[in-house]
A and B are shown apart, each in its own frame.
Chain A
Amino acid sequence: MATKASRSAARIMMAPAVILLLGWMLVPLIMTLWFSFRVYLPLRGGDQGWAGFDNYIRFVTSSAFWPSVQTTLIIVLGVLVITVVFGILIALLLDQPIWGQGVVRILVIAPFFVMPTVSALVWKNMFMDPVNGLFSHLWRFFGAEPVSWLSDASLPSIIMIVSWQWLPFATLILLTAVQSLDSEQLEAAEMDGAPWHKRFWFLVLPHLSRAITIVILIQTIFLLAIFAEIFVTTGGAFGTRTLSYLIFQRVLESQNIGLGSAGGVYAIILANIVAIFLMRIVGKNLD
């Protein structure tokens, strides 16, 4: 259907978004690339000259680098699995006729409204604190030894906090998709005696595939850069230092802009690898 006219119109309509993002990407990116080849130490008088590939080598050979990549991937994957699985289940449930649907929906979506710093503080102190947290009281009530969540089960704890924050996003997107599902088709399948798991697998899931894709892609972007939750809860200790946290440490705590910028370039590369990988798996759903 694309005529020549509509194609050029399309190009014009895309232009503002593309040009803006190009600028937003290129200017900081070029500056980051520039800094990454400089010895740039703000607290030692700023730019101290050419560094060659020193920053890149130093960043990648630091003992913290590979564990941080691994941690990043574990957190992203863990949160994705939890939010998508529970998101689908909750979306299907909320789609059923229930009393007080609007209220329940708001309850489920509410965590998304909470700023990450606040939710991390609330979880850390009011729930996961090994002495005063609600969990520790619950554990003691059942006669169990309270768990030091953030030191002994640091990664699962962070995955849980982050999942709590992102579950609403997944649920909302998936719910929008579920609601556009053709109910007649489903009823017909039910009449034909198709069991629920087959209906789910062959009717519901394919219909949701695009929504799932969008959830995975958008969440991945945000999760790769996850920061506040770690900053507040563990400060990067106990194996929770992600790549973006490592960059934070280099840039702001160590005040080494050159080294941090090199880390930033690595982060972009990692993110793009993840993105390409994702597109391979889920990209076909976008057609």
Chain B
Amino acid sequence: MSLKSTLRAATALTLITAGSAFADAHSATITIATVNNGDMIRMQGYTDTFTEQTGIAVEWVTLEENVLRQRVTTDITTNGGQFDIMTIGMYETPIWGANDWLVPLNDLSAEYDVDDILPAMRNGLSHDGTLYAAPFYGESSMVMYRTDLMEAAGLEMPTAPTWQFIREAAAAMDDPANEVNGICLRGKAGWGEGGAFITVTGNSFGARWFDEEWNAQFDQPEWADALNFYVNLMNDYGPEGYATNGFNENLSLFNQGKCGMWIDATVAASFVTGADSTVADSVGFALAPNAEGVEKRANWLWAWALAIPAGTQQEAEAKQFIEWATSKDYIELVAANEGWANVPPGARASLYETPEYLEVPFAQMTLDSINAADPTDPTVDPVPYVGIQFVAIPEFAGMATEVSQEFSAAYAGQQTVEEALAKAQAITNEVMEAAGYR
């Protein structure tokens, strides 16, 4: 051994000891910004387990979705450095990743088994093939329907229904006298609320946001078909004031037995079959519908994922936490304590190979829905963008919210479908021109 390498080794050793001594003296604390959905709240409850295993303390900043989005976006774009881990979605991840604002997750440990993450999730959370956020749980959308009402109507739900069948079923189950609406769907303005729903509905009618030259497509007949179908369906068999209903409003209605069908996020399945539901025992599931002859279905893809902002002082600790929280072991920990129905769904393939989990009534349908969604090929005609219920470009959130406001006004009968589409076309083209796409 040469003097040089001895010295080097000695220095390295000193550094390591000094480093670990430092770590011991000031045991690290990481700050995590997260959304207040049920699975995240549950994760907070297990933080102590993590701290015991690693000696890393965790501070939580829990906020509701809209506030969280506002908060973390401000912090990441200004390099504010308030958080070591941020909980973000499939929309933000590729955009932020492209800006080099996130630490690439390309050196996760072998036992973490990154290949176990469902391909759809992995694609959606990557930019140029590099993973930037690890999915904590994922979702698609599907049909939830009342088996008792379907039976009474003498109908049987196919596993892959068409919109035409959905309309037929809604007509059959609609029962105003008993306060049962044939169908409940989102109409609330906002890109992540009604905007997401009408976009996937558009996909399932063969519509798309943009053609390959980034020209808005709201003047195409497919959009008119989709929107007219939706408005007629909801006016005929939907609840009062559906134009302001989002996920939660529909969840309440469905849980009270006021909806024959509800097409929404797969995570809703555990709520409508849970303790707060009055119809828990009679809920069936089916794939999101498509229009006859259209190969794309109306199901979206979303994941809440954990990402590390570039520039954090605690990158190693943050990575350790992410590996823990999105691991197979974490899923097993939750399953052991709270049962398989309560584990975070939709992220890992191995979960859907677990026999116990497949007994959960909505497990297989959730997986099938997720697998039916491909963010890189969302529409019938080719598009220049990635994303199913969104377009992964920075301008999308703002413009889609405005578009969905025009649609909501049409749902409320304040303008016609044609007027709404014309305005949507104008808004979208204006934004795209301003952003230099066309």
Contact = CB atoms under 8 A, between A and B. Distances in A.
A–B direct touch, CB within 8 Å, in complex? yes
Interface of A: 41-46, 58, 62-64, 125, 129-132, 136, 146, 148-152, 231, 234-239, 241, 249-250, 252-256
B73 A255 contact: yes
A153 to B, nearest CB: 11
A131 B77 contact: no
A92 to B, nearest CB: 38
B394 A41 contact: yes
A131 B179 CA distance: 9
A131 B405 contact: no
Nearest to A54: B434
B244 A151 contact: yes
Contacts of B358: none
Nearest to A249: B398
B425 to A, nearest CB: 12
B399 A131 contact: no
Contact of B398 (A63, A136, A235, A250): A250
B243 A151 contact: yes
Interface string B365-404: 0000000000000000000000000000011011101101
A238 B408 contact: yes
B70 A151 contact: no
Contact of A235 (B189, B427, B430): B189
B258 interface: yes
B258 to A, nearest CB: 7
B244 A234 contact: yes
Given A43-B99, A43-B394, A253-B401, A58 B73 contact: no
Given A43-B99, A235-B188, A252-B73, 17 more contacts: A44-B435, A62-B430, A129-B241, A131-B253, A131-B258, A132-B253, A136-B240, A151-B411, A236-B401, A238-B409, A238-B412, A239-B414, A249-B402, A254-B395, A254-B397, A254-B399, A255-B395
A148 B395 contact: no
28 contacts: A41-B394, A62-B430, A63-B423, A130-B239, A130-B240, A130-B241, A131-B239, A131-B240, A131-B241, A131-B258, A146-B240, A148-B244, A150-B241, A151-B241, A235-B189, A235-B190, A235-B405, A236-B189, A237-B243, A238-B405, A249-B398, A249-B402, A252-B70, A253-B397, A253-B401, A254-B399, A255-B73, A255-B397
Nearest to B101: A43
B78 interface: yes
Contacts of B434: 58
Contacts of B401: 235-236, 249, 253
B417 to A, nearest CB: 16
B350 interface: no
Nearest to A257: B77
Contacts of B435: 41, 44
Interface in B271-319: none
Nearest to A58: B434
Contacts of A254: 395, 397-399, 431
Nearest to B67: A117
A234 B239 contact: no
Contacts of B172: none
Contacts of B74: 252
Nearest to A132: B252
Tell me what chain A mostly uses at the interface: helix, strand, loop, or mixed.
loop
Contact of A237 (B66, B95, B189): B189
Contacts of A130: 239-241, 244
B402 A64 contact: yes
Contacts of A131: 239-241, 253, 258
A253 B239 CA distance: 29
Interface string B50-86: 0000000000000000100010011001100000000
A62 B240 CA distance: 32
A63 B397 contact: no
Nearest to A136: B240
B70 A238 contact: no
Nearest to A241: B405
B105 interface: no
Nearest to B412: A151
A205 B249 CA distance: 46
A277 B412 CA distance: 36
A42 B401 CA distance: 19
Q: Among B239, B241, B402, B435, which residue has the most Cβ atoms of chain A within 10 A?
A: B241
A248 to B, nearest CB: 9
A255 B398 contact: yes
A250 B397 CA distance: 10
Contacts of A44: 394, 435
A151 B394 contact: no
B426 interface: yes
Given A42-B77, A42-B78, A255-B77, A236 B405 contact: yes
Interface in B299-354: none
Contacts of B256: 132
Nearest to A255: B394
B426 A63 contact: yes
Nearest to B408: A237
A51 to B, nearest CB: 11
A76 to B, nearest CB: 22
A140 to B, nearest CB: 10
A230 to B, nearest CB: 11
